């Protein structure tokens, strides 16, 4: 069991490396864009495409692998004022509903993303289905995560809670 | 009774949301539910989210502002800035309360997030205020919570970037529009603090010796330059707001590495990771709203509302008053970005039809939503501060009450006198 946990932690750190890499890429590309536009007077067209891709991937990759349950933004006026037991029941109910709809929409989402191979990005000529593939990663990761949360709630682990100090607003 | 798919989708959001599913997921699930009920292609949710995120270049200012703030926070900058504020206003009665407000007005230039301000500056200043029981803990918490709402009203401001997206107005003019109410709130809070400090005999800080003034100013100077660079970049007509945000983040990196010499690789990595998480939190709300706003749009809700309201022959002022009342109530229940992304777009066509200026409308809405962070029962700032100071929520609410009243007065002024906001953008060429 410890070995599985170690592997999980290792994977989590690698996922964090990737998120940091995306945000760093976004930041660095912006600096290059500003430098080439205002200092060299020679604007580059590809930069906007890179930063917008980095933004898309940062959000959905982060939502899939990085963000912890305590950092999610919840409407917790009821949720934070109930007993731990009821909260676990809520976790099971919402988890099952989410699983149902995400699983049902997965084939259609996949069809949409793979259909986008007919389009290429304007400057770098990258097929859009590659750029958009992060949505499928996101859906599959959410399905796994919520299966795990529902499973844990069934076995008596504490329900996820938001820590207000950890959410940015 | 006949329930439409739209009605069911709304019920689904409320149901999942109140049972504690994160709001972004609640909106995505409900959109898929709606698509299923209406027999539409289920891939539409993916299409809306992906195309929406991929085509919203203006939103890139959000991760960059967050990054700039996180990079500045790594350094010892907060202490330097607080020393500077102490030098400015510490000598007056209730001095640390004033320092709290002024620090937030200056910090507003960087973080653009009320919660970040309350946690970042708040932790230090509450420590200063409560040492040796100088101020009651609940008062320290309450003034910190109140002062924090100034941050996102004075530019740069993440909520205003979000509003610019939904209303298609200029970020630059919205930012300018935020200056006046931000400064009004600052002055109002300081006046209230002054009054309470006199009545309750709060302490005065020992004046800082004259010979220390140059050193303190020099040390704070690089930090004070950040807002200047950002605002000059945008209003000098040089850069777009998004590029201005990137330049500010770059400056923050240089300042904390070379001037304050406070950043190791490890800290840099952690700062970027923290920004990534905050970006994701907000990004998921935006993604959910993009999916759900598609539903709202095909149901033609905003135009139906505009049509409905026009039936009452409401005046512009009457409509604004109504919107303020609705948002203040919703602000007690919902989180700010959610209101901006889901509720406010519904009002925009009506505001346009009534001839309300959209920059004016945006500033009023943002101020209103910030006050919502302070109002019980669901003022997020109240929770954060109660948690941080280990005080009961009711104690914080009681002490915050005078400040809440003050902020509502400011809201009323800017609501009914549009020129109080718009004169500044007009100087910079706004044609509204």
Determine the Cα–Cα distance for residues B60 and B289; give it in Å rounded to an integer: 17
Summarised one tens digit per residue, pLDDT across range A134-156 is: 999 999 999 999 999 899 888 87
Q: Which residue has the higher pLDDT, B377 or A122?
A: A122
Question: pLDDT at position A169, please?
Answer: 38
Contact B63 A169 (CB under 8 A): no
Determine which of B30, B40, B46, B381 to mutate to test the interface with A (most A C-beta atoms within 10 Å): B46
Summarised one tens digit per residue, pLDDT across range B107-153 is: 765 555 676 667 767 778 888 888 878 899 999 999 999 998 998 89
**Side-chain half-sphere CA neighbours of B48 within 13 A:** 23
Cα dihedral sign, A83-A85-A86-A87: positive
Contact B19 A79 (CB under 8 A): yes
Summarised one tens digit per residue, pLDDT across range B161-191 is: 889 888 889 888 998 899 899 999 999 999 9
pLDDT band of A168, cuts 50, 70, 90: very low
Contact A62 B277 (CB under 8 A): yes
Could you tell me the end-to-end alpha-carbon distance of chain B, in angstroms, rounded to an integer? 46
Residue B173 forms contact with A (CB below 8 Å):
no
Summarised one tens digit per residue, pLDDT across range A48-102 is: 889 999 999 999 999 999 887 777 777 666 777 788 888 889 999 999 999 999 9
User: Which residues of A fall within a CB distance of 8 Å from B279?
Assistant: 23, 58-59, 62
User: Which residues of B fall within a CB distance of 8 Å from A62?
Assistant: 276-277, 279-280, 283
Determine which of A15, A79, A169 to mutate to test the interface with B (most B C-beta atoms within 10 Å): A169
Question: pLDDT at position A29, please?
Answer: 92
Select from B152, B153, B106, B144 the least CA-distant residue to B123. Answer: B144
Determine the Cα–Cα distance for residues B380 and B105; give it in Å rounded to an integer: 20
A62-71, B53-62, B252-261, B350-359: range with highest mean pLDDT = B350-359
User: Which residues of A fall within a CB distance of 8 Å from B67?
Assistant: 23, 27
Select from B175, B286, B275, B279 the least CA-distant residue to B231. Answer: B175
Question: pLDDT at position A156, please?
Answer: 75
Alpha helices in B108-170 (DSSP H): 114-130, 137-148, 158-167
> Residue B210 CB: number of other CB atoms within 10 A?
7
Contacts of B188 (CB under 8 A, 6+ apart): B406, B407, B409, B410
Helices (H) and strands (E) in chain B, counts: 21, 0
Summarised one tens digit per residue, pLDDT across range B186-207 is: 999 999 999 999 998 888 888 8
Residues B242, B64 contacting (CB under 8 angstroms): yes
Question: pLDDT at position B358, please?
Answer: 93
User: Which residues of A fall within a CB distance of 8 Å from B119?
Assistant: 165
Determine which of A91, A105, A164, A168 to mutate to test the interface with B (most B C-beta atoms within 10 Å): A168
Distance from CA of A2 to the nearest CA of B (A): 26
The shortest CB-CB distance from B249 to any of A27, A67, A71 is to A27
Question: pLDDT at position A166, please?
Answer: 52
Q: Which residue has the higher pLDDT, B209 or A98?
A: A98
Distance from CA of A3 to the nearest CA of B (A): 26
Q: Which residue has the tokens 């299409």?
A: B47
Residue A78 forms contact with B (CB below 8 Å):
yes
Select from B40, B4, B34, B3 the least CA-distant residue to B292. Answer: B34
Residue B376 forms contact with A (CB below 8 Å):
no
Residue B32 forms contact with A (CB below 8 Å):
yes
User: Which residues of A fall within a CB distance of 8 Å from B54?
Assistant: 52-53, 56, 131-132
H or E element at residue A33: helix A2-34
**Angle, vertex CA B229, rays to CA B226 and CA B235, nearest 5:** 135
Residue A118 forms contact with B (CB below 8 Å):
no
ipTM of the complex as predicted: 0.91
Structure tokens at B91: 């000598």
User: Which residues of A fall within a CB distance of 8 Å from B23?
Assistant: 73-75
H or E element at residue B419: helix B419-427
Contact B16 A63 (CB under 8 A): no
Summarised one tens digit per residue, pLDDT across range B23-79 is: 889 999 999 999 999 999 999 999 999 998 888 888 888 888 888 877 877 766 777
Contact B279 A91 (CB under 8 A): no
Residue A83 forms contact with B (CB below 8 Å):
no
Alpha-carbon distance values, B2 to B112, B233, B301 (Å):
45, 55, 18
Residue B116 forms contact with A (CB below 8 Å):
yes
Q: Report the pLDDT averaged over residues A28-51.
A: 86
Q: Which residue has the higher pLDDT, B259 or A99?
A: A99
Return residues 94-113 of A near B (CB < 8 Å): 94-95, 97-98, 101-102, 104-105, 107-109, 111-113
């Amino acid at each position: 069991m410890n070995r599985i946990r170690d592997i999980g932690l290792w994977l989590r750190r690698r996922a964090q490396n990737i998120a940091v890499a995306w945000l760093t890429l976004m930041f660095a590309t912006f600096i290059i864009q500003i430098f080439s536009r205002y200092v060299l007077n020679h604007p580059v067209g590809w930069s906007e495409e890179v930063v917008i891709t980095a933004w898309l991937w940062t959000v959905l990759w982060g939502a899939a692998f990085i963000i912890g349950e305590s950092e999610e933004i919840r409407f917790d006026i009821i949720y934070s004022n109930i007993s731990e037991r009821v909260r676990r029941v809520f976790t099971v109910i919402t988890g099952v509903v989410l699983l149902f709809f995400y699983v049902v929409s997965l084939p259609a989402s996949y069809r949409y993303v793979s259909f986008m191979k007919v389009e290429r990005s304007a400057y770098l000529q990258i097929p859009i289905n590659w750029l958009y593939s992060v949505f499928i990663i996101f859906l599959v990761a959410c399905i796994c995560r919520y299966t795990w949360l529902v499973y844990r709630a069934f076995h008596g682990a504490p329900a996820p809670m938001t820590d207000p100090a950890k959410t940015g607003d | 009774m006949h329930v439409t798919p739209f009605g069911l989708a709304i019920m689904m959001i409320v149901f999942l949301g109140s049972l504690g599913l994160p709001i972004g997921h609640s909106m995505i699930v409900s959109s898929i539910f709606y698509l299923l009920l209406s027999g539409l292609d289920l891939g539409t949710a993916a299409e809306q989210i992906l195309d929406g995120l991929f085509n919203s270049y203006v939103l890139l200012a959000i991760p960059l502002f967050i990054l700039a703030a996180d990079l500045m926070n790594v350094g010892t900058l907060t202490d330097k800035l607080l020393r500077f504020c102490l030098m400015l206003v510490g000598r007056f009665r209730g001095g640390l309360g004033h320092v709290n407000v002024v620090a937030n007005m200056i910090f507003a230039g960087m973080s653009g997030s009320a919660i970040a301000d309350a946690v970042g500056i708040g932790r230090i200043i509450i420590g200063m205020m409560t040492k040796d029981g100088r101020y009651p803990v609940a008062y320290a918490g309450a003034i910190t919570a109140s002062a924090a709402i100034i941050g996102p009203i004075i530019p740069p401001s993440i909520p205003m970037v979000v509003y610019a997206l939904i209303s298609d107005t200029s970020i630059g003019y919205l930012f300018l529009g935020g200056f006046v109410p931000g400064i009004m709130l600052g002055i109002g809070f300081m006046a209230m603090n002054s009054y309470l400090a006199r009545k309750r005999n709060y302490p005065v800080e020992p004046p800082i010796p004259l010979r220390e003034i140059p050193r303190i100013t020099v040390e704070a100077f690089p930090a004070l330059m950040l807002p200047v660079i950002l605002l000059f970049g945008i209003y000098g007509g040089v850069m777009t707001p998004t590029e201005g945000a990137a330049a500010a983040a770059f400056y923050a990196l240089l300042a904390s590495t070379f001037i304050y010499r406070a950043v190791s690789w490890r800290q840099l990595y952690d700062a970027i990771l923290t920004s990534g998480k905050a970006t994701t939190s907000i990004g998921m709300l935006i993604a959910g709203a993009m999916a759900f706003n598609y539903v709202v749009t095909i149901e033609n809700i905003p135009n139906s509302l505009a049509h409905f309201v026009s039936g009452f022959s409401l005046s512009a002022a009457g409509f604004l008053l109504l919107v303020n009342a609705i948002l203040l109530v919703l602000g007690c229940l919902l989180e700010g970005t959610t209101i901006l992304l889901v509720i406010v777009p519904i009002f925009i066509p009506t505001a346009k039809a009534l001839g309300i200026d959209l920059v004016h409308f945006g500033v009023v809405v943002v101020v209103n939503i910030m006050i919502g962070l302070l109002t019980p029962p669901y003022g997020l700032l109240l929770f954060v501060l109660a948690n941080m100071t280990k005080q009961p929520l009711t104690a914080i609410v009681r002490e915050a009450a005078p400040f809440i009243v003050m902020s509502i007065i400011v809201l009323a002024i800017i609501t009914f006198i549009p020129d109080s906001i718009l004169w500044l953008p007009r100087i910079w060429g706004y044609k509204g």
